[in-house]
A and B are shown apart, each in its own frame.
Chain A
Amino acid sequence: MMIRRCNTIRLMVLGTLILLTMSLGWGAQTADCRTRVVVAQGVEPTRLDPDMHRENPSNNVILHIYDALIERDWDERIQPDLAESWQIVNDTTVEFKLRKGIKFSNGEPFNAEVVKYNFERVAGLLPGAKKTLNAADYKSIKEVKVIDDQTVQIITKHPDPLLLSYVAAKYMVPVEYTKKDNFKKLATKPIGTGPYVLKSWMKGGELVLTAKKDYWKGAPKIDEVVFRPIPEDSTRIAELKVGGVDIIANLKPDNIQEVEAEKNLEVKFVPSARVAMLFMNTEIDNMKDVRVRRAINHALDVPSLIKNVMVGNAYRVSTVAPKSFVGWDPEEMYYSYNPEKAKRLLAEAGFPNGMDATILTPRGRYLNDVQACEAIAGMLAKVGIRAKVNAVEFGVFAKQTQAHDIPELMYAAWGNNHFDVWDTIKTCVRSGAMFSWYKNEMVDENIDKASQTIDPEKHSRYLRLALREMWRDPPFGYLYAQRDIYGVNKRVAWEPRSDEDINLYGAYIRK
């Protein structure tokens, strides 16, 4: 009896071992002459439907699969893409001339009807279609008119200075393919006109794109682009070092040295569109007095922050527009670092013994966000503002800020995909706007005037006036614009972009 049971156990153990080893391969890989580039991101894409996501990691995959009517080049200037030309008919109408003979990867043709279908979807004008996540960007669209097969007009309800920017962000999806199941399959089985198609996607693992040899602009030079999600910074860098991945984004300044030290790696910099700002909540009594807010600006030693927290990877901005933005003011003025003056201003405003304050910041969302806030808290403490840092997960941060609930101070590195400061200040400064805890009538007036014209001259002028008043009556502690840092394997000839897109069309493998 006992011996039989012994054997049973032995058999079970043996069986398990065999199953185990069979299920695990031995890692044999066939040699592949195809060129391959691996990009590591912090998270994996959510969906590959271009109108149903709101984050960079998804966008980086999507931009390889789809095209838009127009696109931004590496200098962020707008260039033709699926549209070969366009003209501004009047303040509310833009007409696009489309290229001929372009097909989606499932054979469907690309034409004016497709454009109409796409913009109606995001403008909420397509019956039966679910509201898209980017709908807010396109709510100014009144109608889309098909003039002929190759000509289409987009008509807005009122002048929208950012219309072209939004059009550049709208990727074209096929009509028949998506009509069949109301866009459901598109999320995991995307079909576009772009240079790559989706080959495979293991959730949580590799997402593989293969090149389209007959792409209308010319076949891409890199056969396979792979996206891998790796959440840990240190693991990403380790993989870059051993050649497991070729490109990583969001390299921390403190890690620049170790990447540069590797012979086969290099660090690439690009000016970012993100501007770090210390929001001041003027709805709270303590922050109402302009002297308090000027005092805070005088208390911030921005050069020190740039040098030590950002390790030189930022450049100071006088307000919230770096040089690349529409509305940038060439006459830049900075608040001097002057703790004594800060203390004096605070006393004048009625706070001789300083005050308490909390700085809300997300954790790990922006480059060195928590370290910057800790440093800022230290600087504020030196002038009597006893600041505490409340670092929360980004999800919580987003929830709180959207609920308009922030403490005295908040740190955010505000992105701007349109390279027009109007986009930032209409959301963060105009009184009554979602992320504005400030009110200044002159600023409001200028922002509104800038909203009402597509004329680039007038538009910039109003913006400059608004920024000057904002400097005098600050809604923010002014900090710096960031520099994006990428770690790249030298075998890949690729350049990063200010809009944080990782675009490998045009990149190639160096021999």
Chain B
Amino acid sequence: MSGYLTRRVVHSIIIVIGISMVVFLISRLTGDPVSLMVDFDTPMEDREVLRKELGLDKPLPLQYLIFLKGAIKGDFGTSIRYQEAAINLVLQRIPATLRLIVFTLFWALFFAIPIGIISAIKRNSFFDVLGMTFTFLGQSIPSFWLGIMMIMIIGVHFRLLPISGYGGGDVAHIIMPAVTLGAFEMASFARITRSSMLEVLSMDYVQTARAKGLTEIIVIVKHTLRNALIPIITIMGLHVALLMGGAVITEQIFAYPGVGWLAVQSIYNRDFPVIQAIVMVVSIGVVLTNFIIDIIYTIIDPRIRYDREK
């Protein structure tokens, strides 16, 4: 087990280094990274100072090491608009986004799993067809359209929920953003649960349990549920990355004070140091999530670990 873990740690570190390389290269795409990092009317002398700091006259690999050294310390430069350390801006807003993502995953799973299970058990029934239509729709609606529609209908027309903002962190303010953000995820999870359940339900030991006369519920809970959930946990890291991306648009629409909105603002302001910081922090978050899931895996069922390694 420790061998596996150390290998995963090494992998994760390599991936993080890879991410830093990507971020580094993007900033070099224009040929003049300094123009990305300063305000448009910054005088030449100040630009030269920054150029020396970034070591832009040195060979590229050395520049990368300078960048990496800064990145490890958390220094991605100063925000052009806010004149504050880019990393501070990001860290201020990450908690809000994390809450949003956790809440989104929670409600997505809360609805998806029962829908998937019941659809599988009552295969091809009306419920199944309804459920599957619902999930197809969920995977086809662009999230920004859904968000705007929800604001108009639920927020303005029916006045059921507050429309935007953080509202001190209460549930009411997080519902619409979470639904908008998670519609696609919920649909995905439902479908995966359903097909996974179908597969498991047809397996021998389930047939045996049924033959033995155990009630349906016990059969499901004891033998099938856990295995059926495995595919979902497997792709959780992928979905966290998707949610981080989706949060960019959702937070913008609902004025939710998270990292996604900061990302959009930074585009409009061409505030590259902040964009850099966001990409690094978010990507590292995804890698961390994957890592944690792997650890959870090894706790839950060492057998699965071996299967995945193949």
Contact = CB atoms under 8 A, between A and B. Distances in A.
Q: Is any CB of A less than 8 Å from a CB of B in the complex?
A: yes
Interface of A: 5-6, 8-9, 16-17, 20, 23-27, 43, 46-47, 52, 202-206, 228-232, 234-235, 238-239, 241-242, 244, 393-396, 398-399, 402-403
Contact of B299 (A8, A206, A396, A402): A8
Contacts of B257: 202-205
A393 B82 CA distance: 18
Given A24-B103, A244-B163, A394-B268, A204 B174 contact: no
Nearest to B268: A393
A57 to B, nearest CB: 11
Interface stretch (B15-23, B47-55, B67-75, B247-255): B247-255
10 contacts: A23-B169, A27-B171, A47-B82, A203-B93, A204-B93, A205-B165, A235-B254, A238-B155, A239-B163, A242-B159
A235 B222 CA distance: 47
Contacts of B170: 24-27
Contacts of A242: 155-156, 159, 162-163
A231 B264 contact: yes
A213 to B, nearest CB: 26
Given A5-B301, A242-B155, 18 more contacts: A16-B106, A23-B99, A24-B170, A24-B174, A25-B171, A52-B83, A203-B89, A204-B96, A204-B257, A204-B261, A206-B165, A228-B165, A235-B163, A235-B254, A242-B162, A244-B162, A396-B270, A399-B270
Interface residue tally of chain B, by bracket?
Answer: 35 or more
Contacts of B66: none
B164 interface: yes
Interface centre among A202, A203, A204, A396 (most CB of B within 10 A): A204
Contact of A230 (B106, B164, B300): B164
B148 interface: yes
Contacts of A23: 99, 169
Interface in B147-166: 148, 151-152, 155-156, 159, 162-166
B151 A238 contact: yes
B13 interface: no
B163 to A, nearest CB: 5
B270 A27 contact: no
Nearest to B261: A204
Contacts of A17: 106
Contacts of B148: 234
B265 interface: yes
Contact of A239 (B99, B103, B164): B164
Contact of B226 (A6, A24, A244): A6
Interface centre among B81, B162, B165, B172 (most CB of A within 10 A): B165
Contacts of B3: none
A27 B255 contact: no
Contact of B300 (A5, A27, A46, A403): A5
Contacts of B92: 203-204
B31 interface: no
Nearest to B222: A6
Contacts of A8: 299-300
Contacts of B151: 234-235, 238
A45 B126 CA distance: 54
B269 interface: yes
A43 B174 CA distance: 20
A43 B156 contact: no
B255 A231 contact: yes
Contact of B82 (A20, A46, A206, A234): A46
B5 interface: no
A421 to B, nearest CB: 24
B61 interface: no
Nearest to A398: B40
Nearest to B256: A204
A229 B40 CA distance: 25
B255 A25 contact: no
Contacts of A235: 151, 163-164, 253-255
A399 B174 contact: no
Given A5-B300, A20-B103, A46-B83, A228 B167 contact: no
B168 interface: yes
B265 A403 contact: no
B137 to A, nearest CB: 23
Contacts of A20: 102-103, 106
Interface string B279-309: 0000000000000000000011100000000
A238 B163 contact: yes
